[in-house]
Amino acid sequence: MKLYDLELSGNCYKVRLFAALIGIKLELVPVDIPGGAHKRTPVIELNPLGQLPVLVDDDVVLRDSQAILVYLARRYGGNQWWPDGAAQQAEVMQWLSTAANEVQHGPNTARLIDKFGIPLNKEQALAVSALLLSLLEQHLNQHQWLALGRPTIAECAVFPYVALAWEGGVTLDPYPAVRAWMGRIKALPGYVGMSGIA
């Protein structure tokens, strides 16, 4: 199973983290993003958005980190990570949308600006980050995990860019419950980090 990958991408790390947690092996195919390889063959045919990660598992080709998490969990990970029931799936799904929306446009965008010099709106990224972190803090004050009372793919979707927030100038100091939750994730069997996340 191939993962078209960029080591510094939190979206790619979501997949590497989950694969490590469930003990499956990925063949990493590094993509030279600074050199524009994501806009050329073969990546652009696999994902017309020209974004990473892309997963190829036999005849299954998937763009979008959240979709890849759903696929890996459903096929290889078991119900504890992505459940079967309607209310349970929807409870996890709320956080997958939060990952695609607020996480992407909050801490991820702040980091793109500060770390990679991409000209996006910093003020707006900080406002979205504050909204997201307040939501997480409020939730994690009352719950150990994002959904279902146990680790799920919601953790793999939300954790990476929260843990990388400091690279975008977003401090987690005011959010003790978020920091405690990050500690619980780092203690999971099989956990791996990335550059910027110990």
Q: Count Cβ atoms below 10 Å from residue 44 Cβ, excluding itself.
A: 13
152 binds a second copy (CB under 8 A): no
How far apart CA 188 and CA 20 sit, in angstroms, is 10
Size of the site for a second copy (CB under 8 A): 38
Query: Does residue 138 belong to the site contacting a second copy (CB under 8 A)?
Result: yes
Q: How far apart are CA 15 and CA 188, in angstroms?
A: 15
Residue 97 in the binding site for a second copy (CB under 8 A): yes
Position of tokens 């110990």?
Answer: 198
DSSP 54: E
Using CB under 8 A as the binding rule, whether residue 104 contacts a second copy is answered as: yes
Up-side HSE of residue 185: CA atoms within 13 Å toward CB?
29
In the chain, the amino acid numbered 125 is: A
Which residue among 93, 172, 177, 194 contacts a second copy (CB under 8 A)?
93
Nearer to a second copy, 64 or 155 (CB): 64
| Interface stretch with a second copy, choices 1-9, 21-29, 89-97, 169-177 (CB under 8 A) | 89-97
68 is an interface residue for a second copy by CB under 8 A: yes
Q: Which of these ranges, 110-118, 131-139, 160-168, 171-179, lies near a second copy under the rule CB under 8 A? A: 131-139
